[in-house]
Structure 1
Amino acid sequence: MNNNIENLDKGIELLKLLKELEKYSPESIKKILKLLKQ
Structure 2
Amino acid sequence: MKDTAERSRLWDLCVAAFPPYAEYQARTERRIPLFVAEPSVA
Q: Shorter-chain TM-score: which interval?
A: 0.3 to 0.5
Which has the higher relative contact order, 1 or 2, with Cα contacts under 8 A spaced 6 or more apart?
A: 2
Using structure 2 for the length normalisation, give the TM-score.
0.37
Using structure 1 for the length normalisation, give the TM-score.
0.41
